[in-house]
């Protein structure tokens, strides 16, 4: 049976960074709704233009287009063993759609690590964040600096600051998380799949806790 892991937590807590490491270590696909939207924006597709109008304000892209995009992503061959979902679902409607979708693929949401940190930590992380153009690898000016300023260590592409990592948008994104996404905590807790992870720790400690939670679930 394929394994599906949903990473839950506020913007800036490290979901993207951790999802990339976990995908490498477990062989599961990494599915990031935010990166899929950014790829579409870069290519200037209709979906990209629509998504950008929401992303720039720190709001959520409507459920129907988001769900359709994720459904399409699941049909790619790298998802056979399962996937690590990073940034999806973000609303109760999306969580229900995911449950239905996984039934089709013969699986279910197995583990939901909830990564948390205080708002001050999130704001500090987002404002110092640098993202690579080619593959979305993430660095931080202070906590995880690249070897060479402005260049991705992993693929040599340019590092840039996301438009939505500006202070005002960051505050809105954290508020949107509290209002629209936080209800998923109770939803997954009631299903017995929630595991709380302290996201204020150094990156490798968070990874170790996540791997332990995933393995524990499989034993």
Q: Pick from 10, 14, 34, 113: which binds ligand AMP (CB under 6 A)?
A: 34
Give which of 67, 2, 13, 5 is closest to 214, Cα–Cα.
Answer: 5
Euclidean distance between CA atoms 35 and 33, whole angstroms: 5
Q: Is 139 near ligand AMP (CB under 6 A)? A: no
Q: Does 17 bind ligand AMP (CB under 6 A)?
A: no
- Per CB under 6 A, the list member of 29, 47, 61, 138 interacting with ligand AMP is 61
State phi, psi for 12 to the nearest 5 degrees: 90, 0
Of 39-47, 83-91, 100-108, 149-157: span binding ligand AMP (CB under 6 A): 83-91
Whose Cβ is closer to ligand AMP: residue 148's or residue 175's?
175
Establish if 137 lies at the interface with ligand AMP (CB under 6 A): no
Distance CA 216, CA 211 (A): 8
Number of residues that bind ligand AMP (CB under 6 A): 17
Interacting residues of 104 by C-beta distance below 8 A, sequence separation 6+: none
Among 6, 8, 9, 11, binds ligand AMP (CB under 6 A): 11
- In this chain, which of 4, 37, 130, 139 binds ligand AMP, going by CB under 6 A? 37
Q: What is the largest CA-CA distance in the chain?
A: 46
Which residues from 163-182 bind ligand AMP, rule CB under 6 A?
164, 173
- What residues contact 169, with CB distance under 8 A and at least 6 apart? 56, 57, 58, 163
The angle subtended at Cα 47 by Cα 156 and Cα 37, nearest 5°, is 35
**In the complex, what is the shortest distance from the CB of residue 215 to ligand AMP, in angstroms, rounded to a whole number?**
25
Across the strands, what pairs with 131?
A: 138, 160
Q: Could you list the residues that contact ligand AMP (CB under 6 A)?
A: 11, 33-34, 37, 54-55, 58-61, 66, 87-88, 90, 94, 164, 173
């Amino acid at each position: 049976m394929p394994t599906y892991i949903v990473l839950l937590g506020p913007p800036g807590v490290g979901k993207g960074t951790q999802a990339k490491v976990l995908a490498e270590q477990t062989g599961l696909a990494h599915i990031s709704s935010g990166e899929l939207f950014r790829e579409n924006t870069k290519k200037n597709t209709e979906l990209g233009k629509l998504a950008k109008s929401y992303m720039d304000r720190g709001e959520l892209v409507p459920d129907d287009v988001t769900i359709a995009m994720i459904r399409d992503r699941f049909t790619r061959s790298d998802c056979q063993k399962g996937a690590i979902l990073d940034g999806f679902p973000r609303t109760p409607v999306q969580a229900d759609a995911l449950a239905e979708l996984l039934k089709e693929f013969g699986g279910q949401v197995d583990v939901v690590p909830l990564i948390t940190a205080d708002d001050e930590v999130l704001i500090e992380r987002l404002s110092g964040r640098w993202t690579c153009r080619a593959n979305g690898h993430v660095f931080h000016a202070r906590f995880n600096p690249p070897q060479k300023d402005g260049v991705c260590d992993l693929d040599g592409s340019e590092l840039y600051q996301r438009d939505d990592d500006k202070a005002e948008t960051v505050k809105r994104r954290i508020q949107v998380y509290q209002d629209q996404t936080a209800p998923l905590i109770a939803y997954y807790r009631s299903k017995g799949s929630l595991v709380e992870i302290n996201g204020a720790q150094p990156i490798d400690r968070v990874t170790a806790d996540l791997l332990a939670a995933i393995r524990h679930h499989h034993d």
